[in-house]
Chain A
Amino acid sequence: MSIARRLLSTALALFALPVLLLAVWWGYTLGGSSFFVPEPVQLADTFVNTWITGERLTEDVLPSLQRLVLGLFLAIVLGVLLGLLVGLNKTARSLTEPVFEFFRALPPPVLIPVLMLTIGVGTEMQVAVIVSGCLWPVLLNTIEGVRGVDPVQSETSRAYGITGFSRIRHQLLPGAAPPIMAGVRQTLSIGLILMVISEMFATSSGLGFTIVQFQRSFAIPEMWSGIVVLGMIGVALSFIFQFVERRVLRWYHGLKEVENAA
């Protein structure tokens, strides 16, 4: 009985506010049809028709997601590799730091016109935009993480003859994982932003393009349904990240708990 009660209370906590908000939205649109705000039922209908039963899922959404995943993957791999390389060498670190800081501070969308010129419009450009915007948080956090690795651990590794690749694999990467993951989290949202706006420039497919197209033709429910799709991608990315982070950093969260309890 008490388990059922607790489940009910959790469900209430999870869904009460969303349901309330939906009800308010619905009530608002019932009063008089607003041009900018579609009814919830109508929006759900449009959503299914536009994105699930139509061809947009395979023609716009999946290619966009492929570019995003490819871009994020390349940015993370490049960022970690370069970060290890630079982070391990003090001279390299001092040499590159101001330049890297500049690129991190550069708002990534301004790279779109540059890459349009140098690479041309197309999938390569869009992936390059994502990589060039997402690289910096991972790279700088990896450098920071490698630098901040526990010196006692490093000396122990050296004393036990753990060097080269196995040192990177077993000491540096796990040690630097918390800041690297913090960088990856920043990168995810930047990647999604860049995926959308790189498609708003001079392309004829993709999620960003489609949503702008809807807006220009005043297809308001369709436009809202596109916003919902982007929101769902954002939420899905964040859940996947949280899952991966919890696995990768299990030891770290455990350690924090012990430290906090003490």
Chain B
Amino acid sequence: MTRGSRGRPRSGDPAWRAPLLGLAGIAGSLLIWELLPRAGVIDGRYLPPASEVIAAAIGNLGSSIFWSDVYDTMLAWAVGLSLAALTATATGLLVGMSPFLRRYTHSTIEFLRPIPSVALIPLAVLLFGIGIESALMLIIYACFWQVLIQVLYGVADVDTVAMNTARSYGFSPLQRVRDVVLPTVLPYFMTGIRLAAAVALILAITAGLVIGSPGLGSAISRAQQGGAITGMYALILATGILGVLINLAARWVERRALSWHTSVRAELAA
């Protein structure tokens, strides 16, 4: 691994340098976090030292309550994300492939899309109380638009020549969708899923914090109200790690699903 660095001292850095610096950055941040309350810059009651929080977080790993909270959060995340992805893809293909529908739904979609999903919190509480359905409603609403917009972009990007070729070769509509539209839409769809995966976690946690639907969010708010500050920070740390894992998984799936895709798409569509 270190071979490249010795031969050519000026051209680029050795491969291990970036991960090592990254680790140093994490260690440095943890050290600052440890020292701030120890030195009394921030009251230790409000920000416990890193070592105590990490110890509590590791302790959580042996707790069945913690894992059942993780399960509830991830269940809402997975169900909400899948339902949103399915409905949005179906709607997106249907609307995107019909010029008539595209033209007539544009204003409605552009109007409904920016409505913040948290605006639906009171409605969700009224309809579903503190059950998982409240979380699902918020997640599905928010993720639906993320995926739908990407699928619409994708369908709009389908090559007209390829489409006309398929048509003149007598492809049935279903074949055209499968062989022409879907391969073009897939990269856009994956971008939408990657964004929606992060949004779904935010809303799964928010629903717990604000509404009290089961999961890590409500555990955080319980810990806060019970004055278990170290426990609260341990749970927050866990949600952050969960977020990182979801991001990594989404990127991995995206790379796998698009390994055949020759063009390297710009990430700007996000």
Contact = CB atoms under 8 A, between A and B. Distances in A.
A44 interface: no
Contacts of A234: 114-116, 119
Interface in A67-92: 90-91
A192 B123 CA distance: 18
Interface in B104-119: 104-108, 110-111, 113-119
B268 A17 contact: no
A110 B239 contact: yes
A15 interface: yes
Interface string B9-52: 00001000111011111101100000000000010001100000
B65 interface: no
Given A36-B127, A179-B267, A90 B13 contact: yes
A97 B270 CA distance: 20
B244 to A, nearest CB: 4
Interface centre among A106, A182, A227, A234 (most CB of B within 10 A): A106
A67 to B, nearest CB: 15
B22 A95 contact: yes
Contact of B209 (A90, A102, A110): A110
Contacts of A224: 123
Interface in A179-229: 179, 182, 186, 189-190, 192-193, 196-197, 200-201, 208, 211-212, 214-215, 220, 223-224, 226-227
A212 B126 CA distance: 11
B21 A107 contact: no
Contact of A98 (B25, B122, B202): B25
Interface string B162-175: 00000000000000
A96 interface: yes
Contacts of B103: 13
A238 interface: yes
Lowest 9 CB-CB distances: which A-B pairs, in order?
A105-B243, A215-B122, A94-B21, A230-B119, A234-B114, A238-B114, A106-B240, A231-B115, A95-B25
A150 B232 CA distance: 45
A21 B244 contact: no
B201 interface: yes
Contacts of A103: 240
B205 A113 contact: no
A109 interface: yes
A117 interface: yes
A258 interface: no
A109 B205 contact: yes
A248 interface: no
A15 B239 contact: no
A183 to B, nearest CB: 9
A76 to B, nearest CB: 17
A101 B236 CA distance: 15
B243 to A, nearest CB: 3
A39 B25 CA distance: 57
Nearest to B221: A113
A110 B13 CA distance: 37
A197 B22 contact: no
A159 interface: no
Given A99-B29, A112-B209, A179-B268, 18 more contacts: A16-B104, A18-B111, A98-B23, A99-B26, A105-B198, A105-B247, A107-B202, A111-B236, A117-B229, A182-B270, A186-B270, A189-B114, A193-B117, A193-B118, A196-B119, A211-B122, A230-B115, A231-B115
Nearest to A137: B270
A114 interface: yes
A119 to B, nearest CB: 9
B246 interface: yes
Contacts of B243: 102, 104-107
Nearest to B20: A94
Interface string A101-144: 11111111111111011100000000000000000000000000
